[in-house]
Amino acid sequence: MQRYETQRRKAYIIRLTIAQLIITLVGMLAAYLVSDIKGMSSVFKGALVALLPHAFFIQRMGFFHARRRTRGAMHLFRAEAGKFGLTVALFVAVFVAAPPSNPALFFYAYVAVVLTHWLTPWLMPRDRTTN
C-alpha cells in the first residue's frame, strides 16, 4: 500500500508541475500579445518566484525518494519555513536586482501559479481506495 501512495504522490506532483508550466506558458503568450517581450519577462519572473520555492519544498520533504521521505510536523514546518523564506528572498531579489517592467503581470503570474494547487486535484484519477 505504501508503494501505491508514493506513486499517487509522484503523479500528483508531476501533474501539478505540468499544470504550473502550462499556466506559465499561457501567461507568457498572453503577456506577449498585450505588452510585448517586457510583459513576457515579467510573467516569467513571477512564475519563477512561485515555482522555485515549490521545488525547494518538494525536494526538502523528499517526496520522490521513499528512503529520504521525512515524516512529522517538525519536518513539514522546516520545509514550509524554508519555502516561505525563499519566497521572500526571491521577491526582494527580483525587485532590487531586476525589477519587472510590468508589476501587475508579475503578480498575476505569481498568483496564478500559486493557486494552481487548488485546480490540480481535478487532474487526478477518480479511482480512490479507502482503507
pLDDT for residue 60: 84
pTM exceeds 0.85 = no
How many whole angstroms separate alpha carbon 25 and alpha carbon 31?
10
Q: Indicate the domain borders of the chain.
A: 2-122
List pLDDT tens digits, range 79-120: 889 999 999 999 999 999 989 889 999 999 999 999 988 876
The number of C-alpha atoms within 13 Å of 95 and in the hemisphere containing its C-beta is: 9
The string of DSSP codes covering 42-77 is: HHHHHHHHHHHHHHHHHHHHTTT-TTT---SHHHHH
Angstrom distance (rounded) from CA 111 to CA 45: 12
